[in-house]
């Protein structure tokens, strides 16, 4: 989740590890923390067809897409994330790894 207020935020990854993040960084929040979204905050939810969590190096380009599009309306952010995922599918087809392609869902909430 992006926070635009400049305050330090907690990050929780899928393993429950926590660290402090600064403005402009992506912060992964536990569901119980959703009520703490600041104005300008964006919540990204996506299925394992977009990113399955198995490769941290693979996550970086996805985070870059989120950063590059975070000022757009939520629908445009979702479309950018899905476009990224479809390009990734094309690369998987080119190297013969079609079995790694999965269905995709992206859901974005942006607080004004």
Q: What is the pLDDT of residues 19-44, one digit of tens each?
A: 334 455 566 655 555 555 788 888 88
Residue 17 pLDDT: 32
Q: Rounded distance, CA 87 to CA 62, Å?
A: 11
For the chain, which residues make up each domain, given as ranges? 9-110
> How far apart, in whole angstroms, are the C-alpha atoms of residue 61 and residue 100?
18
Which H or E element spans position 110?
strand 106-110
pLDDT for res 94: 97
pLDDT of residue 14: 36
pTM (predicted TM-score): 0.66
Low-confidence ranges of the chain (pLDDT < 50): 1-22
The number of CA neighbours under 13 Å toward the Cβ of 98 is 3
Alpha-carbon gap, residue 15 to 61, rounded angstroms: 21
């Amino acid at each position: 989740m992006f926070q635009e207020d400049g305050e330090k935020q907690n990050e929780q990854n899928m393993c429950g590890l926590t660290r402090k993040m600064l403005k402009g960084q992506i912060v992964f929040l536990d569901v119980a923390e959703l009520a703490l979204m600041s104005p300008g905050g964006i919540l990204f939810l996506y299925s394992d067809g977009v990113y399955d969590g198995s490769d941290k190096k693979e996550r970086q380009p996805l985070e870059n897409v989120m950063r590059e599009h975070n000022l757009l309306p939520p629908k445009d952010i979702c479309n950018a994330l899905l476009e990224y995922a479809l390009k990734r599918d094309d690369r998987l087809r080119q190297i013969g790894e079609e079995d790694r392609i999965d269905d995709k869902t992206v859901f974005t909430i942006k607080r004004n």
